[in-house]
Amino acid sequence: MQPFTTLTAAAAPFDQPNIDTNQLCPTRFNKVPLGAPEYPKILFHDQRFNPDGSEKREFVLNKTPYREAQIIVADRNWGGGSSRESAVYALMAFGIRAVVASSFGDIHRNNCLKNGVLPVILPNEICVALRQQIHERQGAQISIDLEKQTVTAPDGDVHRFDIPAVPKKCLLQGLDDVGRTQQFQPEIEAFRARYRKELPFQAMPAAG
């Protein structure tokens, strides 16, 4: 996983609440293998492109200063819906490394954390204020410091955010979970033996 430490970049505003993962990655792209050349075009595909493949000019990510955005500032309930991790791969392929919102779909948030995309939760009024600034000055930059857990707005205001300790460490160091889990192999073995003994009817599916 690519580590996340600090990021200063242009941010794109998404004013509507409830942007679901179907919009981030329309379902028909779920089967596209990671790294395929069309991946950068998947994010918001059906809102970014006309049926003939030309860009829809009015869509936020097609406007010049936001094309380079590495941060999205959204509203509430970003990434609800389907568990498709392709929604995160699509964000990454476009170049997005962080999403600021007042709440996230739980599965999508986990998927972001497992791929080095930072989900930042800030109160809705701060999200609204940040979006206003990046609307007014298109291309204005936002700075995120994960170690310090701060977001610095274009106007210089600093907002602190919460993030649980373990995902923070994993993001800062680019660690993935399997390595971490393997250190608990003795505990896993002991648990498995106990579970089999105490709850055999749950431990082993019947023969079928």
Partner 1 sequence: MASAQTMFDKIWQRHAIAAEQDETLLYVARCLIHEGSSHTFDRMGKEGRKTAEPDKVFAFSDHYVPTTNQRNGIGAIGDPKIRNMVEMLTANCRKYGIRHFNMGDPDQGILHVAGPEQGVSIPGIVLVGADSHTATHGAFGNLSFGAGASEIYHIMVTQTLWQRKPKAMRIRVDHRLPFGVAAKDVILAIIAKIGHGGASGHIIEYAGEALTSMTMEQRMTVCNMSIEAGGRAGMVAPDDETFAYVHGRAYAPKGADWDSALAHWKTLPSDDGAVFDAEVTLDGAEVAPMVTWGINPEHALPITGRVPSPDAGRDAATKTEIADALEYMDLKPGAALDDIAIDRVFIGSCTNSRIEDLRAAAEVAKLGKAKIPAWIVPGSATIKRNAEAEGLDRVFTAAGFEWRDPGCSLCTAINGDMLRPGERCASTSNRNFKGRQGLGGRTHLVSPAMAAAAAITGKLTDVRKLAKGA
Which parts of this chain interact with partner 1 (CB under 8 A)? 15-18, 20, 22-23, 26-28, 30-31, 33-34, 46, 51, 75-77, 80-86, 88, 103-108, 110-111, 114-115, 128, 164-166, 176-178, 180-182, 184, 187-188, 191-192, 195, 199-206, 208
Residue 67 or 114: the one with the smaller Cβ distance to partner 1 is: 114
Task: Identify the residue whose tokens are 């690519």.
Answer: 2
Residue 156 or 200: the one with the smaller Cβ distance to partner 1 is: 200
Residue 52 or 156: the one with the smaller Cβ distance to partner 1 is: 52
Q: How far is the CB of 8 from partner 1 (least distance, A)?
A: 26
Q: How far is the CB of 18 from partner 1 (least distance, A)?
A: 5
- Residue 148 exposure: Cα atoms within 13 Å on the Cβ side: 11
Residue 3 or 191: the one with the smaller Cβ distance to partner 1 is: 191
Q: How far is the CB of 31 from partner 1 (least distance, A)?
A: 6
Q: How far is the CB of 54 from partner 1 (least distance, A)?
A: 15
Residue type, 72: I
Q: How far is the CB of 76 from partner 1 (least distance, A)?
A: 6
Residue 70 or 103: the one with the smaller Cβ distance to partner 1 is: 103
